[in-house]
Amino acid sequence: MNMKKILLLLATAVLMTACVKPADERTRFSILGDSYSTYEGYVQPDSNAVYPYENIGLTGVEQMWWAQVADTTGWELERNNSFSGALMCNYNYANYYGPHSFIRRMDNLGNPDVIFIFGATNDACAHNLDEPHEPVVALGDYIYSDWTEEQLCDFRPALAYIFNYLKTRYPKAKLYFLLDMNLGTGGVTEQRRAEFLASIHRIAQHYHVDCIDITGIHKSQWHPNVQGHKDIAEQVLDYLETEGV
């Protein structure tokens, strides 16, 4: 083999090595979510409430939407700070979920490259315990600065506050809001669902946060089942593919 061919082979080997991302440089993602993303043993802190997915057929964490996304992309889970039943806003629903809102957990996501925010179902569905069909979380106004504690108990100001905080606290992270377009299946009126969906799209656009609209999720007991998690994963992966990820 002549010297020219040897140099060409060496150059090719160096180039291929440079294109392989070291394990410690894998894309790391965190989740800020509710029951759709919880799985026992895979939430941080481990005191977070989890949904008993085995009741609707899930038998392993590999069936979760985010685990399927990680398996396909090669990404690594940094932190899953999801809490079953949690609202995004600070409304103190049932004196239990309020202290565990998205707002009160969003400072604990580690050091991610990507953040998936998956919520709003509980905000839309939370109801007066004495009158099951009476929603308790107000939409509120579109407010993008100088939020008050009272305003953060309403959905729109709270979502804006969350996006603003995440972009400031994790400036290098790419944000994706996963939006269940059938938000609050069976638990809210069509008008309320439409108002929530429009509000999320508008606020996400204001903060330049990518909104992944998730449709046709198969559910059991109002939660994604095995097929439902596959539905979510496929749509997230399709969206990421359009971005060249």
Q: Which two tokens mark 191?
A: 């008008």
| pLDDT, tens only, 31-45 | 999 999 999 999 999
Report how far residue 33's alpha carbon sits from residue 98's, in angstroms, rounded to the nearest whole number.
14
Which residue in 34, 38, 69 sits closest to 53, CA to CA?
38
pTM of the complete model: 0.88
Q: Which pLDDT does position 6 carry in this prediction? A: 38
Domains and CATH numbers, the chain: 26-50+75-219 (3.40.50.1110)
pLDDT less than 70: residues of the chain: 1-24, 129-133
CA angle 48, 240, 36 (to 5 degrees): 25
Report how far residue 199's alpha carbon sits from residue 197's, in angstroms, rounded to the nearest whole number.
5
Which residue in 159, 155, 158, 160 sits closest to 123, CA to CA?
155
Residue the block writes with tokens 């899930």: 58
Report how far residue 126's alpha carbon sits from residue 153's, in angstroms, rounded to the nearest whole number.
12
Q: Which pLDDT does position 185 carry in this prediction? A: 77
Beta bridge partners of 128: 131
Average pLDDT along the chain: 90
| pLDDT, tens only, 34-86 | 999 999 999 999 999 999 998 899 999 999 999 999 999 999 999 999 999 99
For residue 45, whether the previous peptide bond is cis, meaning omega lies within 30 degrees of 0, is: yes
What is the H or E stretch that residue 67 is in? helix 65-73
Phi, psi of 74 (to 5 degrees): 80, 10
| pLDDT, tens only, 129-145 | 666 668 899 999 999 99
| CA distances for 242 relative to 19, 123, 217, angstroms | 21, 30, 21
Which residue in 175, 149, 132 sits closest to 32, CA to CA?
175
